[in-house]
Amino acid sequence: MEGKDVETVHKQLGRPPRGLRAVAHRCPCGNPDVVETAPRLPDGSPFPTLYYLTCPKAASAIGTLEGSGLMREMQARLATEPDLAAAYQAAHDDYVARRDKAAEDEGMEPLPGDMQSTGGMPKRVKCLHALVAHELAAPGANPFGREALDALPDWWSDGPCV
């Protein structure tokens, strides 16, 4: 990643970022809003979050959605909508495949096959931040990430977060 992007992500997070590989998505303002991280940190410890939402404005807006009860509604729909459950399973499978490819690209051992992917997938809806990050990085991959994105305001409209 370019130095400017690393500096921006540092400011967004309020701490040095760990395991950065690339900018996975840019906000309409031009700043990174999702980064791709290595599946293992430099010390070898597992880091299962491949796509990490960095924009504090987006994170705040998503936090408001989480507080609205949207995740409970999504979770309930997994039990009653088989096509949605299948799409969510496919999102999980996509995430794990991308994470395994990142490990291969980095010359690292992939994470164990039974390790979580992100956001509660494939059986729970646990973190909209992670699901939105996945959808931004891989458009069309995550049905709940897409629904959450569609429900968000234009967080970038009053200017960059940093």
CA distances from 4 to 1, 15, 31, 54, 57 (A): 8, 15, 10, 14, 19
Please report which confidence band the pLDDT of residue 112 belongs to, taking 50, 70 and 90 as the band edges. very high
pTM listed for this prediction: 0.95
> What pLDDT score does 42 carry?
87
- Other beta carbons less than 10 A from residue 7's beta carbon: 13
Mean pLDDT score of the chain: 96
- As a residue count, the chain comes to 162
Q: 48-76 pLDDT, tens per residue? A: 999 999 999 999 999 999 999 999 999 99
Task: Compute the distance between CA of residue 39 and CA of residue 110 in angstroms, rounded to an integer.
Answer: 7
> What gap in Å lies between CA 95 and CA 101, rounded to an integer?
10
